[in-house]
Amino acid sequence: MTNEPRRRRSADRANKGSTAIPQLPLQALRNPYKPMEILSADQVEAIHSAAVHILEKFGIEVMSPRALALFEKAGAKVNHATQTVHVDRAMVDEALKTAPSSFTLTPRNPERVVRLGGDALNFTLVAGPPNVHDLERGRRPGNLRDYCDLIRLAQHFNCITMLGNQVCAPVELPANSRHLDTYHANLTLTDKSFHVSAIGRGRALDGIEMMAIARGMSLEEMRESPALTTIISVNSPRRFDDAMADGLMTMSEHGQAVCITPFTLMGAMSPVTLAGALAQQNAEALFGVVLSQLVRPGAPVIYGAFTSNVDMRSGAPAFGTPENTKANIASGQLARRYRLPYRTTNGSASNAADAQGAYETLMSLWGAVLGHCNLIYHAAGWQEGGLTASFEKFIIDVEMIQHMIETLRPIEVNDAELALDALGRVPTGGHFFGEAHTLERYSTAFYQPMLSNWQNFESWQEAGSLDATQRATRLWKKALEDFVEPALDPARREALDAYVAKRREAIGAGEP
Amino acid sequence: MTNEPRRRRSADRANKGSTAIPQLPLQALRNPYKPMEILSADQVEAIHSAAVHILEKFGIEVMSPRALALFEKAGAKVNHATQTVHVDRAMVDEALKTAPSSFTLTPRNPERVVRLGGDALNFTLVAGPPNVHDLERGRRPGNLRDYCDLIRLAQHFNCITMLGNQVCAPVELPANSRHLDTYHANLTLTDKSFHVSAIGRGRALDGIEMMAIARGMSLEEMRESPALTTIISVNSPRRFDDAMADGLMTMSEHGQAVCITPFTLMGAMSPVTLAGALAQQNAEALFGVVLSQLVRPGAPVIYGAFTSNVDMRSGAPAFGTPENTKANIASGQLARRYRLPYRTTNGSASNAADAQGAYETLMSLWGAVLGHCNLIYHAAGWQEGGLTASFEKFIIDVEMIQHMIETLRPIEVNDAELALDALGRVPTGGHFFGEAHTLERYSTAFYQPMLSNWQNFESWQEAGSLDATQRATRLWKKALEDFVEPALDPARREALDAYVAKRREAIGAGEP
């Protein structure tokens, strides 16, 4: 971690004396250790070769005439009857030459810049659930009020370094223009980078235009200083639909990042074996990388992984399983094979913010971290396999993420830390509570959790025997109370309002 | 993992059609990946040097005249007034030459043999809590009935490869003879290795004698084929009390294993810094290693680690914290520096078997696994920082341990696993459910959890909206119903009964 002990201390001091929830300071997160390798070099190459075989022999269906034309022009074999593109090894290698190994995304607040690639580590708010849940109000369809509260929480906690795509679908708003409302909320209630919706050209472009307004920039300037990314969800197996292909091309044209994420659920959209699913994931991700580089060589692109298994008795997706955890580690080896930034997910299929939610999420989180993932998507708030954004789960996840960040902070070893003076002074069987070495450090020596309860049983019982999930309710409420809306230049805000009004009207009149 | 796909499949078949709780088969657990290194080689040496400084300059208090005499005879500087022993670098190096880098413990069922050292991995039942808890009966003092139920659970689940010391204190039994009752239960209700209580010579010897009876062996044969281990808990800082030193010497004399475990709670019994706590842990552990090798060169000994932090506001111990997780990884580097088997713990301070219990335990479990721990003590059932053995937590922990074991199973990559035939056959946007490649493998392709619920929300709600903790209640009850007492030769059982009767009488008459 690059966070300095000094910065940490001052943040802890800032927490002290106030009633604020303790949290880690704003910092550029890094993973300083060697990535774990669970595939041998030979195995990585075998999976790569299988992926090239898929691309060359089986091909990828692309439902976008524009994309088909691009591939054909670049020399790919295109079967127009089946809309299938066959990309060869040379074309993949060519794309990998121009795709950047790392890049930054700069939102309207440049202090919130996000680095992707290398040993950078980022965590996003859950994205995409149709439902919302908290312990007091129960489960309900996504809506703008909850949307805004959830992104306020993501803004409040420093360890959430960017927002994903819509944290929940605000279903009371018209489907064809609700992206304007959510972008507007993202740009006014937060100052972090976010994922635009790239279902079609229009939604992507609206995100880019609105971020440019919020940054006070032209689209040309934004092209050289990207701020946004999007998830291109492949319709696995081997299909890029029209809207996603167009979204991808729009983002790449404008120099914004795309993350190509095959959805390779083993046994359903992928072979039941990890090797087969990883080969397919690789083929589909590389195909998207090639498309991005055909649109604009050097366009920022992320290797996305989402390999997990299904419950073979019901076909239901499962997350945080051993297979998912292994895929998270192995996918990092594949992304590094291509020198591409790497995205994956920590998830759970649990219907509650309970022990299962915690262990499934933490298993896949460790897999992602050991795989040196740069962008851990859906990192906070994911419940029910992604069908629900949970307020309590958000708090539990932030706590687990903070544990992980602190675990990655290197151990200092020097004379002061070795404490031989104190060790020689404290008598055998004695204690260190009163030692100067302890007193000088005790207030900042350890990570201070917000959710963990370390009371003895009797005190805990007197305080109501609240479990972690019940305590999380208090914490998200407190964080919403403490939320501070980040300042935004009034002229830019006005321009954003105007953009939304104009586009809403245009969309109402049938424009895309 | 050495578990063969074949064995796993047959175990799965054995589960199938029956109502048994699915679980992993009996297998020799291995960690096949490289250990994580969070200390540099220089940092490891600095911590080692600091430990030697502590041993040479500050010394260790040993409250046992026998041990003091042994050290003195071996050339250590002994201050009899303070009972302090000063061991130098050469004496440490000498002990490390004879201490074995790995060994086995063979209980009465040789199939349950436990390997310690190298890449072996073992998980034990929680040990030592004064209290017991389950959701239905609440919290209560330890007692023999719960003791027996908890060790039945440990016997039932294959991933628990040995028992710890007393899973709970059966407080209704006389304190000076209850070890006879618990050993008897261990040897009749289970056929796994266990930890004896080494508080004094008598308790250790009773364990050794009773295991010898159960194996049909003499003490001389047991000396060459160890079956047991014990935890020597150092009274940190720098004190070995009389009972523990005598227990250690008794075990080593009889060729049984000892695990030297300093209890280095940062800020309380140790410096507030990780480097200082690790240096102290190292010094105390190495001191115990030296003592074991003075008693009997080649006696099996384990490097124990138990470095965590306290809550600096209350002084209460915390577990599963980032500091604890880092200590678990770093301690593995230290143990490997000495080529000694490594023991640590996964713990939690949570008062409930809730999300906190899960994430704290899983954080420290990952630390232990990444540190290549050979003996993960208290691995299942630990609650309230070790003050309570919890039935529900036991089930949650077994589930997390099984997740970990399956995550450590290497990915196979070959033509059959890469599944290119199936990948070429399934149409774009199609699915793999009906593919021969899937059908041939689906029933054994994925780890099948016992606790995780992957139902959709509506089905889960109809089934009563039970969270993982509530579902765990059903599982431990079912496991107790399904429990099968392992066969024991009636003559040996009779001999065990007679030994207990004789010793109970002798202890009653004042014998040690």
Are A411 and B38 inside 8 Å of each other by CB? yes
Give yes or no for residue B184 having a pLDDT over 90: yes
pLDDT of A512 reads 84
Whole-angstrom Cα distance, residue A382 to residue A401?
A: 13
Residue with tokens 């995409």: A128
Give yes or no for residue A35 having a pLDDT over 50: yes
Give yes or no for residue A158 having a pLDDT over 80: yes
pLDDT of B512 reads 84
Distance between A283 CA and the closest CA of chain B, angstroms: 11
For every residue of B369-425, which 3-state class applies, written as one string?
A: HHCCCCEEEEEECEEHHHCEEEHHHHHHHHHHHHHHHHHCCCCCCCHHHHCHHHHHH
Please compute the mean of the pLDDT values over residues A372-401 and round it to a whole number.
Answer: 98
Give yes or no for residue A5 having a pLDDT over 60: no
Q: How confident is the model at residue A2 (pLDDT cuts 50, 70, 90)?
A: very low
Query: Which of chain B's residues have a Cβ under 8 Å away from the Cβ of A350?
Result: 452-453, 468
pLDDT of A81 reads 96
Model confidence pLDDT, tens digit, residues B342-382 = 999 999 999 999 999 999 999 999 999 999 999 999 999 99
ipTM confidence? 0.96
Q: What sections of A259-412 are H helices per DSSP? A: 274-295, 322-337, 355-370, 391-407
Query: Which of chain B's residues have a Cβ under 8 Å away from the Cβ of A57?
Result: 424
Strand partners, B380: B125
Give the residue on B whose Cα is nearest the Cα of A61: B428
Is A57 buried (19+), middle (13-18) or exposed (0-12) by CB count in 10 A? exposed
Please compute the mean of the pLDDT values over residues A258-287 and round it to a whole number.
Answer: 97
Are A330 and B411 inside 8 Å of each other by CB? yes
Model confidence pLDDT, tens digit, residues A85-143 = 999 999 999 999 999 999 999 999 999 999 999 999 999 999 999 999 999 999 999 99
Model confidence pLDDT, tens digit, residues B416-471 = 999 999 999 999 999 999 999 999 999 999 999 999 999 999 999 999 999 999 99
For every residue of B220-278, which 3-state class applies, written as one string?
A: HHHHHCCCCEEEEEECCCCEECHHHHHHHHHHHHCCCEEEEEECEEECCCECCCHHHHH
pLDDT of A311 reads 93
Model confidence pLDDT, tens digit, residues A412-427 = 999 999 999 999 999 9
Residue-by-residue DSSP string for A389-417: EEHHHHHHHHHHHHHHHHHTSPPP-SHHH
Nearest to B356 among A57, A275, A451 (CB): A451
pLDDT of A312 reads 84
Q: How confident is the model at residue A8 (pLDDT cuts 50, 70, 90)?
A: very low
pLDDT of A19 reads 87
Structural contact between residues B57 and B85, judged by C-beta atoms closer than 8 angstroms: no
| Amino acid identity, position A43 | Q
Task: State the count of interchain CB pairs (< 8 A) between A and B.
Answer: 390
Distance between B76 CA and the closest CA of chain A, angstroms: 18
Residue B236 burial (CB count, 10 A): 27
Is B80 buried (19+), middle (13-18) or exposed (0-12) by CB count in 10 A? exposed
Whole-angstrom Cα distance, residue A483 to residue A278?
A: 41
Q: Which two tokens stand for residue A228?
A: 């946004």
Dihedral of the CA atoms B55, B59, B63, B66 (nearest 10)? 60
Domains of chain B: 27-410+449-512 (3.20.20.480)
In chain B the first and final C-alpha atoms are separated, in Å, by 44
What does the mean pLDDT of chain B come to?
95
pLDDT of A12 reads 43
Model confidence pLDDT, tens digit, residues B208-250 = 999 999 999 999 999 999 999 999 999 999 999 999 999 999 9
Q: How confident is the model at residue B393 (pLDDT cuts 50, 70, 90)?
A: very high
pLDDT of A11 reads 42
Whole-angstrom Cα distance, residue A53 to residue A49?
A: 6
- Of all residues in chain A, the percent with pLDDT exceeding 70 is 96
Q: How confident is the model at residue A7 (pLDDT cuts 50, 70, 90)?
A: very low
- Of all residues in chain B, the percent with pLDDT exceeding 90 is 95
Closest residue by Cα to residue A25 from A13, A8, A1: A8
What does the mean pLDDT of chain A come to?
95
Closest residue by Cα to residue B432 from A86, A276, A126, A6: A276
Q: How confident is the model at residue B15 (pLDDT cuts 50, 70, 90)?
A: very low
Residues 6 or more apart in contact with residue A383 via CB below 8 angstroms = A126, A129, A133, A348, A350, A351, A352, A353, A357, A389, A390, A393
**SS3 category, B458:** helix
For every residue of A442-484, which 3-state class applies, written as one string?
A: CCCCCCCCCCCCCCCHHHHHHCCCCCHHHHHHHHHHHHHHHCC
Q: Which two tokens stand for residue A116?
A: 């992707």
Distance between B60 CA and the closest CA of chain A, angstroms: 7
pLDDT of B312 reads 84
Whole-angstrom Cα distance, residue A431 to residue A435?
A: 8
Residue B57 burial (CB count, 10 A): 11
**SS3 category, B103:** strand
Q: How confident is the model at residue B8 (pLDDT cuts 50, 70, 90)?
A: very low
Give yes or no for residue A4 having a pLDDT over 90: no
Q: Which two tokens stand for residue B471?
A: 């579902």
